[in-house]
Amino acid sequence: MKGCIAPGEIPGISASEASVFGEIAENMICADFMMQNAAAARAIFQDHHNPAAYLYFLAKNNPQFTEQMQRDFYRRLYSAGLMRVPDLLIHSAEKAFYEIKPESASGMRKGIEKVGTLSGVYRYYRLPYIAGTMFRPRNHTVALAGTALRATLNVRRSAPGLIMYTLCLEVNGVMELATLAVILRHIIRELNRQRGNRQLIPVDLSPIFQKDEQLTEIARKLGLTMAAAAGGAAAVAGWKHFWKAVAVRFAVRGSTAAVLSAADGPLPVGELIAAGLALWTVVDIIRLSDELWQDADRIARTEI
């Protein structure tokens, strides 16, 4: 199974978290562009929110772009609300610009608007840049959990000059959308910790599911809550009933069912995985723990 989504559309991700991740994603894509155009590195402009550097690049590479034209360019575009700076601009064999956006409805809309505005501005001032078509963006692995799970930043050129990205999670099996969101949310937050690093290190998810880790500890790391056993005089369920509820909910069979049926307390996650439960099933158990305890209570009552 493979699921992809724009980072800003992942439930639980704030606008600021999506913005930080967008900066990281943009830097990864720009680094790929630089690598593919290494021979022309001096002829590439990358936007670092410095309009003066942008005007300098235009003037340096276009002698016909006189000082008077530069002043007109600056004043006219700002007064008309049309000042746009491309994420990437290359003045080499290809004279082109590229804009990078998340692949969401709003990202697509903003990207199309910006590509259109830049195209019109360059034509008006007789600058040679067009929406680029030569860049072939590549995907980037951003997280792994052995061979069971891999997260990638998927990148494509959706139209001339417009590069779009999504965050994708690929697993061996079927994963609920809610669990997909939980894991992607964790990956984004871990990647955001690397903001400012020269090279991004893919997130290793395996340590979260180590042999001695308990469900409550994994819940904490993933930003979830692991419901405790129901309390009060009315509650009769214990861990053995909880694991029976897990077996029923996830249709567990064979040796895995035998491990769960023998348990009468919290099990180390490594033991659950060794018994045959998938990583994402463990996340499901945490995510659905409140419902599972309710099921456990009903199972316990049938045994009284």
| Other CB atoms within 10 A of residue 233 CB | 5
- Mean pLDDT over residues 68-77, rounded? 92
How many whole angstroms separate alpha carbon 279 and alpha carbon 254? 18
Segment 261-293, tens digit of pLDDT: 999 888 999 999 999 999 999 999 999 999 999
Read off the pTM: 0.89
pLDDT category of residue 235 using cuts at 50, 70 and 90: low
- Mean pLDDT over residues 50-76, rounded? 93
| Other CB atoms within 10 A of residue 81 CB | 8
By percentage, how much of the chain surpasses pLDDT 90? Answer: 80
Low-confidence winner among 131-145, 151-165, 186-200 (lowest mean pLDDT): 186-200
* Statement: residue 96 has pLDDT above 80: yes
CA angle 219, 223, 224 (to 5 degrees): 50
> Domain extents for the chain?
1-204, 215-302
Give the 3-state secondary structure of residue 166. strand
* Statement: residue 230 has pLDDT above 70: no
Angle of the 177-192 helix axis to the 279-287 helix axis, nearest 10: 100
* Statement: residue 234 has pLDDT above 60: no
By percentage, how much of the chain surpasses pLDDT 70? Answer: 97
pLDDT category of residue 16 using cuts at 50, 70 and 90: very high
- Whether 260 and 200 have beta carbons less than 8 Å apart is answered as no
